[in-house]
């Protein structure tokens, strides 16, 4: 029988640290519910000491999900640990995840502590965490650049203090598969009591090796892999959940393990995260990218028609993708819409369903066929309204160079009109919005893509806008691409207001 490898999902904590990928509490809860359907073992919900908003979102997730464990992160200091424990009070299965750095680089330049001082602090932190929460995970930050014998020493201290899980992370994405496998083997073999704890691997993707390193760590003895949906995270991202899980499932002869992941929910999780954060999934992304199961070369098409095994090592259905994603038509009722949303992993309130149905009927008047991704985009835009400061009522542009734009926004009970000129319709409309809101943003990235096939496709706009030096992602959707772009800009602006005002 294959050994079980637990999946510790840190999408809502480390993943959210990806620039511009911040989620509000409602979006985090919806994503947590999807992670529960996906079957992850632990959801790391956040870093409670960071802010009151972060504390409350961890608290709400802990009270909402039932099957997975819920973890909260804390530095190995009393105030962090106590705050994390308070946020986890209502969790069915809580984990307090505390950490301190162990590499000489971090000790000298960041902590300014000696090795002995760090050993003492680690033991003190784990003991406090253990008194407050039954299950404690200890992380040796920057483990892969730490002295191996010192890793053994601090692991021994953490185990003796009551840690249930020992995480040896590749914090900066520095290591290689051979090195990390040997590190786990060495620490496990040389630490007294290592058989009483679970060893965990958390890897960053700076050299593109996060997935390979995670799998190598499992071969070295790790029985928990920490990862994120779509591999999002700081800098180049984290270990991609879907890639690790499907590698284990597809290559059992090399990685004789099993996970509890419901792989048919992978696509729903991927697309829901993309719509919530505004971070598009690259077309060539393994497992979940649009082209992951596409075959353009004639010889490949011929082979797949003859037998999928010729060019497909897994089926689209195994990760929740279907060959035909046409979902509903103009005459579909609200009940059918609700059922399809549920199948796609969305839980809607009665009010949200009514608003979605109104948007859906409006969309079917503009295009003949509505696809799964159309529905996902509509739901994402609906969720953005939950924290809208300004809402687009109307936009009209005219002229060539310069272009004039008339923008009508709703702000609370007020409706505000403004006009402006610019180099093009998007620029002119953004200038009008700037006049209304009094906030100036710099558009640094702008993409328009068709959410689904056809000339009447829903345009899905993705923008990155910098306000006061910080980047915010925005998304918008409309069959009118200018309107979609303006909605995306306004979505980024509303996120800025939500996070700062």
Question: Cα–Cα–Cα angle for 81, 225, 210, nearest 5°?
Answer: 110
Question: What's the confidence (pLDDT) of residue 296?
Answer: 43
Q: pLDDT at residue 351 above 90?
A: no
Mean pLDDT of 286-297: 76
Task: Pick from 84-93, 304-313, 321-330, 340-349 the range whose average pLDDT is largest.
Answer: 84-93
What confidence tier does 308 reach under pLDDT thresholds 50, 70, 90?
low
What confidence tier does 301 reach under pLDDT thresholds 50, 70, 90?
very low
Q: pLDDT at residue 90 above 60?
A: yes
3-state secondary structure of 424: coil
**CA–CA dist 18, 13 (Å, integer):** 10
Question: What's the confidence (pLDDT) of residue 412?
Answer: 85
Q: Which of 55-59, 77-81, 251-255, 379-383 has the lowest mean pLDDT?
A: 379-383
Q: pLDDT at residue 135 above 90?
A: yes
Question: What's the confidence (pLDDT) of residue 66?
Answer: 95
- H helical segments located in 367-424: 372-384
Mean pLDDT of 426-455: 84
More confident position, 358 or 176: 176
DSSP 53-85: HHHHHHHHHHHH--SSEEEEEEESSHHHHHHHH
| Contacts (Cβ under 8 Å, ≥6 apart) of 373 | 271, 325, 451, 452, 458, 460
pLDDT digits (tens, 9 = 90+) for 17-43: 776 677 878 889 989 999 999 999 999
More confident position, 414 or 246: 246
Q: Look-up: residue for tokens 């959707």?
A: 477
What confidence tier does 302 reach under pLDDT thresholds 50, 70, 90?
very low
Q: pLDDT at residue 91 above 70?
A: yes
Paired sense of beta strands 459-467 and 470-478, if any? antiparallel
Q: Which of 101-115, 206-220, 251-265, 429-443 has the lowest mean pLDDT?
A: 429-443
What confidence tier does 501 reach under pLDDT thresholds 50, 70, 90?
low
Question: What's the confidence (pLDDT) of residue 406?
Answer: 93
Q: Which of 402, 384, 339, 404 is nearest to 492 (CA)?
A: 384
Q: Are 95 and 136 in contact (CB under 8 A)?
A: yes
């Amino acid at each position: 029988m294959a050994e079980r490898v637990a999946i510790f999902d840190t999408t809502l904590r480390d993943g959210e640290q990806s620039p511009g990928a911040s989620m509000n509490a409602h979006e985090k809860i919806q994503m947590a519910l999807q992670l529960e359907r996906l079957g992850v073992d632990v959801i790391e919900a956040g870093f409670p000491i960071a802010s009151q908003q972060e504390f409350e979102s961890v608290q709400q997730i802990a009270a909402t999900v039932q099957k997975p464990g819920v973890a909260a992160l804390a530095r190995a200091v009393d105030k962090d640990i106590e705050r994390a424990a308070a946020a986890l009070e209502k969790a069915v299965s809580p984990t307090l995840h505390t950490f301190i750095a162990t590499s000489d680089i971090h000790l000298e330049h960041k902590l300014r502590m000696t090795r002995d001082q760090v050993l003492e602090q680690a033991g003190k932190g784990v003991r406090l965490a253990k008194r407050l929460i039954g299950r404690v995970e200890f992380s040796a930050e920057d483990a892969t650049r730490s002295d191996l014998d010192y890793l053994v020493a601090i692991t021994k201290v953490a185990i003796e203090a009551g840690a249930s899980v020992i995480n040896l992370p590749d914090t900066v994405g520095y290591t290689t598969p051979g090195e990390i496998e040997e590190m786990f083997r060495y620490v496990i073999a040389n630490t007294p009591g290592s058989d009483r704890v679970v060893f965990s691997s958390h890897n960053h993707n700076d050299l593109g090796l996060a997935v390979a390193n995670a799998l190598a760590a499992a071969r070295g003895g790790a029985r928990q892999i920490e990862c994120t949906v779509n591999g999002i995270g700081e800098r180049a991202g984290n270990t991609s959940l879907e890639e690790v899980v499907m590698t284990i499932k597809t290559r059992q002869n090399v990685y004789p393990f099993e996970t509890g992941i419901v792989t048919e929910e992978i696509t729903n999780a991927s697309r829901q995260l993309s719509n919530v954060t505004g971070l598009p999934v690259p077309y060539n992304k393994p497992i979940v990218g649009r082209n992951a199961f596409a075959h353009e070369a004639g010889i490949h098409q011929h082979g797949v028609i003859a037998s999928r095994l010729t060019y497909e090592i897994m089926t689209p259905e195994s990760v929740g993708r279907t060959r035909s994603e046409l979902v509903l038509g103009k005459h579909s009722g609200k009940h059918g819409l609700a059922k399809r949303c549920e199948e796609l992993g969305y839980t809607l309130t009665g009010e949200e369903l009514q608003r979605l149905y109104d948007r859906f009927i409006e969309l079917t008047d503009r295009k003949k066929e509505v696809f799964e991704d159309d529905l996902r985009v509509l739901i994402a835009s609906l969720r953005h309204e939950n924290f809208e400061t300004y809402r687009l009522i109307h936009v009209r542009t005219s002229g060539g160079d310069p272009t004039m734009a008339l923008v009508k926004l709703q702000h609370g009970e007020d409706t505000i009109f403004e006009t402006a000129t610019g180099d093009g319709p998007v620029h002119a409309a953004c200038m009008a919005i700037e006049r209304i809101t009094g906030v100036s943003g710099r558009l640094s990235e702008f993409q328009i893509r068709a959410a689904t096939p056809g000339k009447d496709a829903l345009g899905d706009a993705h923008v990155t806008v910098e306000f006061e030096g910080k980047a915010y992602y925005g998304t918008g959707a409309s069959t009118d691409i200018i309107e979609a772009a303006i909605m995306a800009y306004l979505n980024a602006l509303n996120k800025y207001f939500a996070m700062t005002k």
